[in-house]
Amino acid sequence: MNHPYRQNNANSGTVISIRGSVVDARFENQIPSLIHILKTGEEGKIIIEVITHLDSKTIRGIALTSTKSLALGSRIIDTGHPIMVPVGKTVLVMEMIHNIVGHHEWASIFCGIGERCREGEELYREMKTAGVLNNTVMVFGHINEPPGARFQVGHTVLTMAEYFRDDARQDVLLLIDNIFRFIQAGMKISGLMGQLLSRFGYQPMLGTELSELEERICNTASGAITSVQAVYVSADDFTDPAAVHTYGNLSSSIVLSRKKEGICGMGLACSAL
């Protein structure tokens, strides 16, 4: 695949001004759109985002990387798109559904707890495009719904998973995104009920509520439920009660580091193998 910086037919311009992280460039043919990403410097390693149009041919951008090696007159390429992040949990979810469910005839259930409506709709379209939707049940408790609905959606999908395991006698892949929103919903319900909150404002029955959900994920003679869960760790603090209780119920974990480009500090964990 050709790198955008090496494409001869790419929309290109010339760097005409450099003031620290502020870079101006002139495009004779077509001016890049606002928020488009431009690449310049050696091998296109200097990344610039278009902030404003100074005139019909000149843009002003902010460098997202160091401009130390950038020189006046350097060629600059319009990638034709804004910042894009292809890696993360959605890609992992689709890959797992495709490779596990598609090849081994498992039932797949996706549970979105506290998802935004837009995120749910985007995930639906991405999974449809990837060709994994026919093997998947999707259940959402959106972030704008009452905490009772967001809390119960977790138990709802477990009931569905138990049906596929016990009645349909199928192995089940259960994906939950994310389990921290289940805890948050329980915390809000606890506050509405007038219960005395515990450490960091969590509900006093945090451990019990989480265990009642997680312990339903198990194997029987008729089939197995394997759960992969996204875990948001509040303030990256693994000593937070929500993180401690969550990881205490899981058999293994993978931490996605913020240090890697495009990864947003999420954790994935398998509950039943």
Active site residues per annotation: 89, 115-116
Helices (H), 31-116: 89-96, 102-104
| Distance in angstroms (rounded) separating the CA atoms of residues 221 and 215 | 16
| Distance in angstroms (rounded) separating the CA atoms of residues 22 and 79 | 18
DSSP character at residue 62: E
Beta-carbon contacts of residue 17 (< 8 Å; ≥ 6 apart): 23, 24, 72
| Distance in angstroms (rounded) separating the CA atoms of residues 23 and 29 | 19
Distances (CA, A) of 253 to 186, 228, 250: 23, 9, 7
